A and B are shown apart, each in its own frame.
Chain A
Amino acid sequence: MPTPTDRRYTKEHEWVRVDDGVGTVGVTDYAQDQLGDIVYLDLPAPGTPVKQFEKLGEIESVKAVSDLYSPVSGEVVDVNEAVADHPELVNQSPYEDGWLVRVRLADLAELEALLTADQYDALIAEAQAE
């Protein structure tokens, strides 16, 4: 699927889409494909403070567990309950129904440190060429 241009990306394959100071966070299509079938997510509860590029939680597939990193600093205001019951949503719809948490941003300027869709595409093209 094409990389959505309405959001920003991290080198660790997370995305954030900001609306009115609140960032919705998820993992990319490349990430879900690399991870394989997701079976469990360990996500922070609303109220938890998060920092840009620090560990946010864990995403677990059949074969392995990977750390999730927050693309932005702020406070978690919402967690996607649907993915707790149906982790496969992350595989099926990584950019829409498979969103993970929503964060009230502490600093919009932090978005400058993230990759655009084009930059993220270049990153994964390089990774796949290896």
Chain B
Amino acid sequence: MTAAASPLRHTPLYGEHLALGARMVPFAGWEMPLQFAGIVEEHHAVRRRAGLFDVSHMGRLTVEGPDAAAFLRSLVTYDVARIAVGEGHYAVICRDDGGILDDVYVFRLGEERFLVVVNAANAQRIGEWARARLRQGSRAVLMDRQTETAMLALQGPEAAAHLGALAPAVAQSLAARHCTEVELEGTIAFISRTGYTGEDGFELVVPAADGPGLWRSALGGVERGVQPCGLGARDTLRLEAALALYGNDIDESTNPLEAGLGWTVTFDDGADFVGRQALLRVREAGVSRQLACVRALERGVMRAGCPLLHDGRPVGRLTSGGFSPTLGASIGLAYLPPALAAVGTELEVDVRGKPLRAQVVQRPFYKRGKAG
């Protein structure tokens, strides 16, 4: 007899998705829109104009008070002191052996005031893990803000123009990876110039009750051309940008150095963080494998889990795979022995028993501003 599954959770924007006729699917315990107009159409809309995503399912933690910065630094790989007020930085949370517990974004809103955005699938676990690490007597305060807020991502070359209709000063002056809090439509919104698509864009956090109004304002009517987008396009966009997906490309069995996330790890401040010793040893010894970008040389679609062969010998498996609407070809990510991770290495992907010729290519597959 199986236990009844918990009912799926709904974000504050759930009613909006149903009103727009979205196809809904379960994701990390939430019922989320997979697509509105279609994955490929939404993907192209973000690359060419602007798309709007509900990302309220992601975890949002605030860390505030005296000791906040030091506490946060002890949890993440990046030297938080280097993040100025009004800035954000991508970082990784590791366990003692250097395995990745989550990839996160750390925003500094004040000297001792931070917003940390974590993956939906890890939200509860990371919150508990961080709380357990708050030493007795620490004056840092950790709060879970997920249920009281909604989060939207407005992404694409026209995102700034559309944000200009809502928050003109922010749209004009907020630099990439920076953040601010601003009054917007009668509420206070956190806005960062960040995203998971490889395009220019913004992420906005507002009180939950203000989510639907902001969603509708941001969409602004069909003639405005902002395309509501779901998880399907979110995945095709991030894969083209070669951005890691937790659970696929990174997890507890991978460390940030082999995942190409060494740039999120700072050792030179000397401060301890969970996994520091283990990662120093990896740096010393060199990584035994590297996450590489693989692109198909012929028709067919490679998927996560497909084995890779080099000269007939199995050398790894894809951690992510799919079809790139921008490139018109299949792309994927895989850990390869460093010698084979060089750009140009030819490989064969086993797609359900059929061979698909592929090649290691430069990361990322798509970079904004560059043709094809």
Q: Which residues of A contact B (CB under 8 A)?
A: 36-37, 39-40, 42, 60, 62-63, 65, 84, 88, 91
Q: Quick one: given A36-B35, A36-B39, are A65 and B232 in contact (CB under 8 Å)?
A: no
Question: What are 8 A-B interface contacts by the 8 Å CB criterion?
Answer: A36-B39, A39-B40, A39-B323, A39-B325, A42-B300, A63-B34, A88-B40, A91-B38
A3 to B180, CA, bound (A): 54
- Cβ–Cβ contact A37 & B299, under 8 A: no
On chain B, the number of residues with a Cβ less than 8 Å from chain A's Cβ atoms is: 17
Q: Find chain B residues with CB under 8 A from A84 CB.
A: 299
| Contact of A39 with B232 in the complex, beta carbons under 8 Å | no
Q: Report the nearest A residue to B41, measured CB to CB.
A: A37
Return chain A residues, CB-CB under 8 Å to B352.
Answer: 65
With A62-B322, A62-B323, A63-B232 already in contact, the answer to whether A37 and B38 are too (CB < 8 A) is yes
The prevalent SS among residues of B at the interface is mixed
Residues of B with C-beta under 8 A to A39: 40, 301, 323, 325
Q: How far is the CA of A36 from the CA of B36 in the complex (A)?
A: 11
Is the Cβ of B40 less than 8 Å from the Cβ of A40?
no
Interface centre among B34, B40, B330 (most CB of A within 10 A): B40
A40, B38: Cβ atoms under 8 Å?
A: no
Question: How far apart sit A88 and B303, CA to CA, in the bound complex (Å)?
Answer: 20
A40 touches B299 (CB 8 A): yes
Please, how many angstroms separate the alpha-carbon atoms of A39 and B38 in the complex?
12
Interface residues of B in 319-372 (CB under 8 A from A): 322-323, 325, 330, 352
| Nearest 9 A/B pairs, CB to CB | A37-B40, A39-B323, A62-B39, A40-B301, A37-B39, A60-B301, A37-B38, A62-B323, A36-B39
- Please indicate the chain B residues that have their CB under 8 angstroms from the CB of A36 in the complex: 35, 38-39, 232
For B299, the closest partner residue in chain A by CB is: A40
Partner of A40, one of B35, B236, B300: B300
Distance of A94 from chain B, by nearest CB (Å): 14
Q: Which residue of A lies closest to B328 (CB)?
A: A39
Give Cα A63–Cα B34 distance, bound, in whole angstroms.
10
State A40–B232 Cα separation when bound (angstroms): 17
CB distance from A86 to the nearest CB of B (A): 10
Q: Which of A36, A60, A62, A63 has the most CB of B within 10 A?
A: A62
Interface centre among B34, B236, B301, B325 (most CB of A within 10 A): B301
Chain B residues within 8 Å of A60, by CB: 301, 323
Measured between alpha carbons, how far is A40 from B300 in the docked complex, in Å?
Answer: 6
- Given A36-B38, A36-B39, A37-B39, A62 and B299 touching (CB < 8 A)? no
| Complex alpha-carbon distance, A37 and B301, angstroms | 13
| Cα distance A84–B323 in the bound complex, in angstroms | 14
A60 to B322, CA, bound (A): 10
- Shortest Cβ gap from B61 to chain A (Å): 31
Q: Nearest residue in A to B323 (C-beta to C-beta)? A: A39
B324 to A: closest C-beta gap in Å: 9
Name the CB-closest residue of A to B300. A40
Nearest neighbor of A38 in chain B, beta-carbon distance: B40
Which residues of chain A are near B330, meaning CB under 8 Å?
40
Q: Which residues of A contact B38 (CB under 8 A)?
A: 36-37, 91
A84 to chain B, nearest CB (A): 7
Task: Report A-chain residues with C-beta under 8 Å of the C-beta of B322.
Answer: 62
- How far does the Cβ of A28 sit from chain B's closest Cβ, in whole Å? 17
CB-nearest residue of chain A relative to B23? A36
B301 and A65 within 8 A (CB): yes
Complex Cα gap A63–B299 (Å):
16
Q: Which residues of B contact A88 (CB under 8 A)?
A: 40
User: What A residues does B303 contact at CB under 8 A?
Assistant: 65
